[in-house]
Amino acid sequence: MHNPQLNKQGQLQHLLTIEGLSRSMIHHILDTAMPFVSLADREVKAVPLLRGYSVFNLFFENSTRTRTTFEIAGKRLSADVVNLNINASSTSKGESLLDTIDNLAAMNADMFVVRHAESGAPTFIAQHLNRTSNGRVSVINAGDGRHAHPTQGLLDMYTIRHYKKDFTNLRVAIVGDILHSRVARSDIHALSTLGCPEIRAIGPKTLLPSHLESLGVHCYTDMKEGLRDVDVVMMLRLQNERMKGALIPSAQEFYKHYGLTEEKLALAKPDAIVMHPGPMNRGVEIDSAVADGPRAVILNQVTFGIAVRMAVMSVLASTRASA
């Protein structure tokens, strides 16, 4: 099957998932983000790259934090950004998803940033637009169900590359609720593509999906064993709804076994970095001493995240301009 996020020239037309992106494409996006990071230190942080563009934030699932990062990224590129909370609008009038998309596309939208509770919705939209809009409109997946969260994956890679330079000699541990995490999925695909030789998944058996081994991931249920000598610790957020579920006895119990404390972190390499996609549950998956400690790069992830989202938008815009 043709990869729906690339055009016939192999350029990025949509960003739907990290799966299937080439190593050079990922590095191209990260390279594009670099000047945007330094831009943030300047008095005027805006550039006119997307002036006159219309970017629609289509959030079928509420996420103020993620929506804000895309809104800021779009505005710093001088785009017109329109926020649409879709639950509250057309859908309640019984309009179909694709009619909503066609309508907004007919307003000469340039980009849709799509967040949806159902896996595959952004891809479904992108495939429809490929048929109808002649490559004029791009889709950016801002998180779909358990499937993917590619801009989070890319900003995580930006962060690792920033601190560790080279992926080909790294040992990376991903810790927590891997089963339900689209962040984990995106990170694993990105790390594999970038040549990371050892990816570890740490968590209770109930939260480690069975197909991980087939992706070359090493699974650990003992966190102390799993953290030994790693260069990067990527913590995952434990969803509130899991804490009351059958998969985890309690938040306290989870913290005891899989919460990142200074004691456990001492098993990693001395210069290991600690990452978290936020929002954090302090005292559940991570101790405050670690979250606010010298090895945490959690807020840097946020800063890099704006630059990476600006880079994704820029790369998509230049694909379009060259069409």
Q: Which of 23, 51, 205, 256 binds a second copy (CB under 8 A)?
A: 51
Residue 210 backbone phi and psi in degrees, to 5: -70, -25
Ramachandran quadrant class, 66 (left: phi over 0; alpha: psi -120 to 50; beta: rest): alpha
Strands 198-202 and 138-144: unpaired
- Among candidate residues 277, 309, 272, the one with its CA nearest the CA of residue 294: 272
* Of residues 265-304, those binding a second copy (CB under 8 A): 278-282, 299-300, 302-303
Measured from the CB atom, is 64 or 168 closer to a second copy?
Answer: 64
To a second copy, the closest distance from the beta carbon of 3 in angstroms equals: 26
To a second copy, the closest distance from the beta carbon of 140 in angstroms equals: 17
Contact criterion met (CB below 8 Å) for 80 and 107: no
Asked if residue 45 binds a second copy (CB under 8 A), the reply is: yes
Q: Which of 11, 63, 119, 127 binds a second copy (CB under 8 A)?
A: 63
Asked if residue 244 binds a second copy (CB under 8 A), the reply is: no
To a second copy, the closest distance from the beta carbon of 171 in angstroms equals: 27
Measured from the CB atom, is 167 or 255 closer to a second copy?
Answer: 255
Q: CB within 8 A of 121, min separation 6: which ones?
A: 60, 97, 114, 144, 145
Q: For the purposes of burial, counting CB atoms within 10 Å of the CB of 83, is it exposed (0-12), middle (13-18) or buried (19 or more)?
A: middle
Going by the DSSP 8-state scheme, the letter that residue 211 receives in this structure is G
Binding residues for a second copy, per CB under 8 A?
Answer: 40, 42-46, 51-54, 62-65, 68-69, 71-72, 75-76, 80, 82, 84-86, 88-90, 93-96, 99-100, 102-108, 240, 278-282, 299-300, 302-303, 305-306, 321
